[in-house]
Structure 1
């Protein structure tokens, strides 16, 4: 079995028993490491504890945008905590813009505060020399692109990206990365993205504990599912699976500067 890295998982959102089962089964699944992204300050704390307990876990700290904006004091608490622990994180994330929340709330939804918060996260990532892990899809993606171009961000990872071809070309030209989820097996939209995007700017992820359909229905999301993702991508792009495995592994190690023993 070829080696994989899950480049985007919310490990702290699993139950303690599920976390233990996932990490105990990484070796047998051929997964050497996971990038565990954070949802808010409490999530950051949990991910840091997981990273201190398990060497395979590499934490990213941030604030997921698909929720109510934090207060000014909560934002400052998070920024202060991240500053204190910046050497222990591999990236700023997950951060971005609330496309799904905005779609749910309707036209009166105020996005300005989310844009300002994302701008602050991007600025800090730039100052800390850390990659940015982005949740920015469809109409929100160009806004995120504009902010990152403003700050000259070179290392950006758009996870589970969805958007138009113009934005995809913009991301490719900027050298930014995407990661592909197991739904590439049954979602035409993701299959089309894989056709467009260079393998050299691609990684793989689960976004667990998010559940998938098709052959994964009723199953707990596990990094081992990435092997099916790799097979699907190799078929779509007409590459040998061995080459896809090697490229994704190297991409993730280099992007996150993982010091693997």
Structure 2
């Protein structure tokens, strides 16, 4: 799919991976609708210019996301229609099943992580796909849209304390192939990126020694990933029609201990 004059919805767009993706897609000639709960999303849209529109929205809310998707469909004017989604919204949940005194983990905290990371992803995908099927087929393949979700290497290499986070991201991985198969008859592709350790606001919450240890654990390049490198892969997925139904690890070769 060509990005020029196409409309893309980016969730979790106020910072980190989402913001970098928004910048790259705008540079490629796309119209972007930026969805986030943070008020920083308006500032980013203003900086990106007339081809960026900011929308506040909770990815777990059907009503919120229907409004956002409707705005995305209308955003392109004559080229109206939602052509792609890069879903980056998510949270990190860290808690052991049992604490040091043997007390069980908080069930509501676990459910919140799964609700945002997994149910929120499904919510965005179902509404975006319903909009994309109304698009006219494009090109020789008849493509109508592309959906890119964000998992994590924790889906495969979850560490102690990551039960909720790993489970939620493994669920995103598990949806990728069946939804790609389902949507193939509509000309809609589904892909997932599983980032490793990246320079994001989530990572900034960790102590410096922990960040240094994670950087040293990456085989090559021996550093944290840059948000623009995630955006590069998102752009390549959009452009390459043979990328479908797959999860791509973007991690410098790291395997978490």
- TM-score tier (shorter): 0.3 to 0.5
Give the TM-score taking structure 2 as reference length: 0.41
Give the TM-score taking structure 1 as reference length: 0.41
- The answer to which structure has the higher helix fraction is 1
